[in-house]
């Protein structure tokens, strides 16, 4: 077990290092001058050269990379050319907004997707199974930005039930501004007792969370159904039925326990995918998250921000996959034995 975990951790570190190297050297071969972007087109050559020395860009590229890697290890991603603030500070502001959407969407994927998959497998061939399969196929096929626009037209434009976008209404921002503690408004409102802003934040979460959760729910349901059907054909399930166990016990105590391993893999991949997939959702809903931040940075040629966000998303992706690998190894010894 220890050898398996050590091997996975070593591989993860190499992935992060590889992404760091690639993003760094790609940023250095681009034609734009980062110092000129920072100081502006009207700055004198003396100012440009002074900033170049201050940022260490006058040194050889290998030395620049070592300095950059050392700063990253200390949590320093540099200065944003666009906001003129430390990138770490910006990320601490924007990342919680994205994680709030992603985590809520994954909770929905577990709470809705797994039971739908189990029920679909238990009622294979019935109208319930057919309807759930059609819905889940549509869920993995519909583009998120298109679904977001349709839901905005329906629930904001036609019915007026839900807000168009943003994290809080403008009047709430003036009369009852949210005090930020964790960056998760659904939690900060509870911690501070700001019930007006908390309720408003929950209403703003409904549409973007549902849109972002559509793909994870559908994929989780399909994977769970497929894994459950495979497990239900095993001999020990037939023996359990012959022994008189109830269908509920067979489905949730025997079959699901063995079918959950491939579902965990999908959940880990979908979690990482949702972080990048949130970009379009954030743009449509004017959600001030990491996706909006990096999009504005790309349009402004703010290379340090793009490098930092790429590295952070990679780290999240790797950590989630490590957690999934550890859970798989704990639930199924065949996973770690097969890797030896």
Which has the closest alpha carbon to 284: 159, 174, 161, 151? 151
The CATH 1.10.3720.10 portion of the chain extends over 94-338
pLDDT of residue 276: 77
Average pLDDT over residues 131-149: 87
| Spatial separation of the C-alpha atoms in residues 221 and 270, rounded to whole Å | 12
pLDDT at residue 222 greater than cutoff 80: yes
Please state the rounded mean pLDDT for residues 222-244: 78
What local confidence, expressed as pLDDT, does residue 43 receive? 67
Q: Is 212's pLDDT higher than 80?
A: yes
Instruction: Name the one residue in this structure whose structure tokens are 């849109």.
Output: 211
Contacts 24+ apart (CB under 8 A), 317-320: 317/272, 317/275, 318/12, 318/15, 318/16, 319/12, 320/268, 320/271, 320/272
pLDDT of amino acid 32: 63
Q: Choose the weakest-confidence range: 21-30, 148-157, 309-318.
A: 21-30
Query: Tell me, what's the pLDDT at 208?
Result: 92
Q: What is the homologous superfamily of the domain 94-338 according to CATH?
A: MetI-like (1.10.3720.10)
Q: Give the closest residue to 206 by CA, choosing from 265, 166, 260.
A: 166
Beta strands in 9-124 (DSSP E): none
pLDDT tens-digit series, residues 152-188: 999 988 888 888 888 888 888 888 888 888 888 889 8
Which two structure tokens, joined as six digits, stand for 242? 């012959």
Rounded Cα distance, 145 and 188, in Å = 28
Does residue 150 surpass a pLDDT of 80?
yes
Give the pLDDT mean for 240-254.
Answer: 73
């Amino acid at each position: 077990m220890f050898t398996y975990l050590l091997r996975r951790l070593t591989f993860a570190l190499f992935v992060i290092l590889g992404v760091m190297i690639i993003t760094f050297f790609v940023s250095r071969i681009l034609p734009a001058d980062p110092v000129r972007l920072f100081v502006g087109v009207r700055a004198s050559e003396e100012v440009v050269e002074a900033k170049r020395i201050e940022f260490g860009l006058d040194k050889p590229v290998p030395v620049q990379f070592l300095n950059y890697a050392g700063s990253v290890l200390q949590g320093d991603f540099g200065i944003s050319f666009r906001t003129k603030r430390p990138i770490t500070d910006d990320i601490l502001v924007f990342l919680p907004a994205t994680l709030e959407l992603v985590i809520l969407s994954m909770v929905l994927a577990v709470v809705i997707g797994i039971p739908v998959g189990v029920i679909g497998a238990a009622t294979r061939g019935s109208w319930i199974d057919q309807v759930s399969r059609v819905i889940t196929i549509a869920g993995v096929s519909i583009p998120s930005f298109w679904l977001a626009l349709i839901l905005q037209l329906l629930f904001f434009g036609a019915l007026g039930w839900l807000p168009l976008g943003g994290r809080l209404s403008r009047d709430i921002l003036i009369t009852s501004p949210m005090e930020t503690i964790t960056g998760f408004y659904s939690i900060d409102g509870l911690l501070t007792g700001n019930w007006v802003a908390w309720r408003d934040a929950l209403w703003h979460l409904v549409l973007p969370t549902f849109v972002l959760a559509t793909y994870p729910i559908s994929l989780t349901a399909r994977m769970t159904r497929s894994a459950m059907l495979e497990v239900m054909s095993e001999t020990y399930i037939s023996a359990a039925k012959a022994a008189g166990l109830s269908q509920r016990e067979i489905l949730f105590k025997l079959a699901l326990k063995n079918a959950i391993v491939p579902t965990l893999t999908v959940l880990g991949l979908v979690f990482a995918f949702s972080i990048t997939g949130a970009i379009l959702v954030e743009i449509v809903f004017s959600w001030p998250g990491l996706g909006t931040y990096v999009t504005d940075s790309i349009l402004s040629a703010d290379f340090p921000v793009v490098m930092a966000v790429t590295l952070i998303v990679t780290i999240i992706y790797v950590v989630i996959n490590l957690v999934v690998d550890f859970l798989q190894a704990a639930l199924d010894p065949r996973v770690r034995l097969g890797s030896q």
